[in-house]
Each structure stands twice: as C-alpha cells, then as structure tokens.
Amino acid sequence: MKPLTKLMSGVAVTMSLMSAQAAHALTATLSAQYFELAVTDVDTGAFTTPTGIGNTLGFDGMPTATGGVNDISHGVLTWWDPSLNSDVHSTGGGTISLPYSSNMYAPNSTGSNDSAVYETAIFKGNFSLASAGTVDFELGSDDDSFIYVDGTLFGDNPGVHGVTNVDFTSPMLSAGSHTIEVFYADRDHTGAFLSLTLGADSTGVVIAPPPAGGVPEPATWALMIVGFGGVGALLRSRRRLTAVAA
C-alpha cells in the first residue's frame, strides 16, 4: 500500500494554491491518528471488499458497511476502533501535509514493511469557504480509503488491492465551515500506500479562514490571485484556502 495523509490537532493550517495549472493543488496540514491492525485479524490477508458502504458516518464516527468483510460492529467498520475490535491498537498521532504521497507502514508510517502488523489511520481537518464552491479530490491507495466531508461520503477506494487512483469532485458546498475526514486501512502484505491531493474549483470561489475557535489564526489571510498572461492567454484567478486541523 502507499502513502497516507495524516491530520494533527490544534494546528492552524493554510491551504494555498500550489500551481496555476489546471490541477491547482492546495497545500494543507491535517491531524492524524494511527493504529495497528493485527496480521491475524479476520479481515486481513484476503482480497475482500466491504459492501453496502453508507453515505454517512455511523456509530463512534466510523464508516458504515453491511457486508463483504467480517469486522463490522454496530453497523460500522472497526479497523480504526480499539473499543470495537481487539485486533486494533492505537499508536499515537501526528500531522501530514497535502498534497500527500507516502507508504503506510507501521508504526505511524515510519516502518519499511507490513510483515508483522498492518497500519490504519484517520486524518481530520476543517476548511472554510467564503462563498459556495466545490473541491476536487485525487485519491490513491493500497488498500482501503474513504473521504467524508461534513460526515458525508464523497469518495472511496475500498477493498484489498494494489495502488488504485480515483478522482472526484464534491457536490456544491455552501459558504462557511466544513470538516474533512479521511480513513485508511492496509490489510494485506502486498504493499501500503496513500496519496491525496485537494484542489479548488475554477469558479472564483474564495476559501477563507475558518471561524474563530480554539486555534489562533494568522493575523491576515488574503485571497491569492495568480495571473498567468501570455499572447492569446486569459488571466485566471486562483484562491487561497485556509484550513485548520480538527
């Protein structure tokens, strides 16, 4: 499996435009919670895929599913919840920076292989839109990965498989604060990887600082306009996204 994006608590973050090209990737810091999943767990070492994945998070804030795998309790997948699965153990937290691309080997994505134990992780953060707009996601994983915005499933890459990439765009999001949660799980010895890139749409939406909360914000945040001129080329306005880890 490959690199995973991680989130860190209490950290003010700025998502700023990385490129004026079509991809217009945004940078951000997310908080991360890491876990180890025993290689003897019933859902490891087999090419299984959870089915009936729900549109919203369920019990204890976990992804919901109805079948395809065995680690389901209270209607949710348990690969990230020691209270629901005795084969899962918390190994601490940290942060990751987007765009993110990394191998996902325990402990906390610092290992070199998954022969002894598998890694699972949860990444969280907040972002705020000054006006309605959409967010683009480029997700790659080996194995399972799920992305939720405001508790609603926006994209997933479930199952035991080699690195697979999926791209998707969120529905129109309202102005104001939003949450993002990314769930990742390695469940087979064939590798462990996660990559995630976020991009703002090209409709001129301004992504502003999140509402005041317990995290200090920079004194000023400005809309970044990036103009790329040239003979026969149009100026394109870009935005700056400010995010704060949950």
| CA dist., res. 43 & res. 120, Å (int) | 13
pLDDT at 24: 53
CB atoms within 10 A of CB 51: 12
pLDDT at 46: 85
Q: Examine residue 7 and state whether it is found in any structural domain, yes or no.
A: no
The helix or strand, by DSSP H or E, that contains position 183, with its residue range, turns out to be strand 176-185
Q: Examine residue 201 and state whether it is found in any structural domain, yes or no.
A: yes
Domain count, the chain: 1
pLDDT at 140: 96
Q: Examine residue 77 and state whether it is found in any structural domain, yes or no.
A: yes
The C-alpha R_g of the chain, in whole angstroms, comes to 18
Q: Examine residue 220 and state whether it is found in any structural domain, yes or no.
A: yes
pLDDT at 232: 33
Q: Examine residue 204 and state whether it is found in any structural domain, yes or no.
A: yes
pTM of the model: 0.75
The helix or strand, by DSSP H or E, that contains position 198, with its residue range, turns out to be strand 193-200
Instruction: State which residues form the domain around 87.
Output: 12-244
- CATH number of the domain that residue 192 is part of: 2.60.120
Residuewise pLDDT in 10s, the chain (246 residues): 434 333 333 222 333 333 333 345 666 789 999 999 999 999 998 889 999 999 999 999 999 999 999 999 999 999 999 999 999 999 999 999 888 999 999 999 999 999 999 999 999 998 777 788 888 889 999 999 999 999 999 999 999 999 999 998 888 899 888 889 999 999 999 899 999 988 755 343 333 333 444 433 333 333 333 333 332 333 333 333 334 455
Q: Examine residue 58 and state whether it is found in any structural domain, yes or no.
A: yes
| CA dist., res. 106 & res. 112, Å (int) | 8
Q: Examine residue 1 and state whether it is found in any structural domain, yes or no.
A: no
| CA dist., res. 173 & res. 155, Å (int) | 15
Q: Examine residue 130 and state whether it is found in any structural domain, yes or no.
A: yes
Largest CA distance in the chain: 63
